[in-house]
Structure 1
Amino acid sequence: MKVHLTLFAAAQELAGAKTIELDFEQEQINLHELRSALTEKFPAMSALAPHLLFAAGTDYLPPESIITDGDQLVCFPPVSGG
């Protein structure tokens, strides 16, 4: 299966790309597996990966989310503002 990610902020800088595609042998994965795949492909993201947020459309994905083939997600570090 393929998962398409659009990266923002530090995630984009560390990966060196705005969009990436990750391939998985399973038919579905969870966010933990997605984070592991990101750090495997982009070791520079290992310190940031536990803190990354993921969203599909306008909805944040909770930690127990299941990701399936063709999902298009966005990925970004936590943000704060005032």
Structure 2
Amino acid sequence: MLNLIKNEHKKIMKKKITLIALLLIVVFQLAMALTLKRVISSFGGQDTVANYFAYSTNVVFILQVLAVVIGATLISTEFQKRTIKFLLIRP
């Protein structure tokens, strides 16, 4: 079972869409952190990690959408290559 998970992980990391999604996640997180730091400091609030996570709910939504897109892409390529049955019948 562990070898199957390793193989699937390798397939995921070889795709360009995964690397693009990971880069987008990093860019969104950095942009949100810089924006929130400026907003919080301009209102005179404390610049803490807790305040950042309190205001960063939009980033979580973006991350969820990217995860769904990557998952859907993986499933569709498995159907397209007709290898989904091997994943489903293995113990």
For CA contacts below 8 A with separation 6 or more, give which structure has more relative contact order: 1
Q: TM-score of the superposition, structure 1-length normalised?
A: 0.27
The answer to which structure has the higher helix fraction is 2
The answer to which structure has the higher strand fraction is 1
Q: TM-score of the superposition, structure 2-length normalised?
A: 0.25
